[in-house]
Amino acid sequence: MSQKDLQQAHAREDEENARLFGGGQSRPKKKKGLSDDDIIASGEGLEDSSRVPRWFFAIIAVVVVAAFALSLPFWGDRPDSPRPWYTWGHAAALAYMLVFGGFVYAMTMMYDPDKDDEEDEHHEEK
């Protein structure tokens, strides 16, 4: 096959592809929705969003209350081996929740957008 025949075959194939697959590159693509940058730039819906949703705190509270209730001594104890109402396990659990809850709070508040806005205004005033 000569070079000229090969070019003609490619041209026919390109025409057929354009006919079958929507006319090639001449048709503009429709943009669907906003990009992530457009959503952030508009700021719509971001003003009332909190770092951690309230339902998450509700789930944590329910789990902690259920765990504490199940640790109380009247759940399936034998009469000959009584358990105390309060143990060091309760203190350890409380310390664990305070330490790691504080860590999660610090991580979620590290880049607080409200704080950044206040710093920007403070720098503009000077």
Give a yes or no: residue 65 inside a domain: yes
Once rounded to an integer, what is the mean pLDDT over residues 60-69?
90
Mean predicted lDDT score pLDDT of the chain: 77
| pLDDT 10s digits, 79-124 | 787 778 888 988 999 999 999 988 988 888 887 666 655 555 655 6
Q: Which domain does 65 fall in, by range?
A: 49-125
Number of domains in the chain: 1
Q: Which two tokens stand for residue 27?
A: 């048709």
Whether residue 70 is contained in a domain is answered as yes
Residue 41 inside a domain? The answer is: no
Task: Let me know if residue 43 belongs to a domain.
Answer: no
**Could you give the CA distance from residue 77 to residue 79 in angstroms, rounded to a whole number?**
6
Residue 42 maps to a domain: no
Say if residues 101 and 92 touch (Cβ distance below 8 Å). no
Asked whether residue 9 is domain-assigned, the answer is: no
Residue 18 CB coordination number (10 Å)? 14
Question: 0.75 exceeded by the pTM?
Answer: no
Q: Which range, 17-26, 57-66, 67-76, 110-119, is most confident? A: 57-66
1/3 Cα distance (integer angstroms): 7
- DSSP secondary structure string, the chain? --HHHHHHHHHHHHHHHHHHTTSTTSSPPPP-S--HHHHHHH-TTTTT--SS-HHHHHHHHHHHHHHHHHHSTTSS--TTS---SS-HHHHHHHHHHHHHHHHHHHHHTTT-HHHHHHHHHHHHH-
Asked if residue 112 belongs to a domain, the reply is: yes
pLDDT value of residue 71:
82
pLDDT at 78: 75
